[in-house]
Structure 1
């Protein structure tokens, strides 16, 4: 148990007697990381009887460097095309006639991709994802999320009419989402 003995966690509504019906249990590993565990009756909103339990643990959270990605929307495309043309002329030989073998094709492809990659590094600005963005949503799933939410509200508003077609439509779309 993480809470110290005899720490009250509840104030009875009528009698105002302090009791301890809530216990905080943890594994040995987690208990070893405990800094402090206490109740905070001063933080409880009005009308509640259970006290908040504030638990502080010493946990090392690794710092994650956000991934940067290329912002093709802010690219100066005339400059990009000019830079790519220069890279292609300088670094990628133009084949005379047919490409004779797979090895020659693979070498040309590697040189072409390297020229493209170098041009992107040079001409396309980098950006970081905004911290408030829901990066797990694609545009399609974001649109579907909005549609499911709207149907859910409509189904809730029509909950007294169980045979209404909006319920079936909501279930179908929710399951697909």
Structure 2
């Protein structure tokens, strides 16, 4: 471990005596030291009613960006269509009869897995994963939001007539 904050750097001003001291240190691995851009105290960023000065440490670490894999949005899929597609593909599957060997069982499992994956690819909508994605959002919330927006527009049209039923409908939803 190596000290990244330069020696004799003042990091604290005591409340009582208003003297400056240097009790804070920043340590880092020697391997990271070559990536260190800056390690400094910035007294101008000091929050009110605090005695420590902020220590600004900037490290340049290269990161590899990965492309997010698209995934399937099972919440927005139509289950009836999926069931129909799956039934259609399962009819193509031959009756295995009695399974006595492990290899026969594994073959049937692979075939069933392939059919499930093909059905999913055919029916389930693909969604690109994003860090800002609302994973809790579903079709029911989407219809409720559309209904709320319609009532909002309707009540806005009647804004000069507060006793209009559109306002009550909007408030009830």
Q: What is the TM-score when the length of structure 2 is the normalising length?
A: 0.60
Q: Distance in 1 between matches of 2:48 and 2:99?
A: 82
Residue 35, structure 1, aligned to residue 37, structure 2: yes
Corresponding residue number in structure 1 for 2:98: 99
- Matched positions, count: 131
Pairs within 5 Å for 1:120-135? 120-127=120-127, 128=129
Q: What is the TM-score when the length of structure 1 is the normalising length?
A: 0.59
Q: Which runs of 5+ in 1 are unaligned?
A: 134-177
Q: CA deviation at 1:37?
A: 0.6
Query: Residue 28 of structure 2: SS of its match in structure 1?
Result: coil
- Residues 16, 132 of structure 1: alpha-carbon distance in 2 compared, 3 angstrom cutoff: farther
Given the alignment, which residue of 86, 89, 93 partners 1:87? 89
Q: Distance in 2 between matches of 1:21 and 1:89?
A: 75
Q: CA deviation at 1:68?
A: 4.9
Q: Distance in 1 between matches of 2:89 and 2:56?
A: 60
Corresponding residue number in structure 2 for 1:117: 117
Report runs of 4+ in structure 1 exceeding 6 Å deviation. none
Out of 69-78 and 98-107, give the one that drifted further: 98-107
CA-atom RMSD in angstroms: 3.0
Q: CA deviation at 1:39?
A: 0.7
Q: Distance in 2 between matches of 1:53 and 1:107?
A: 62
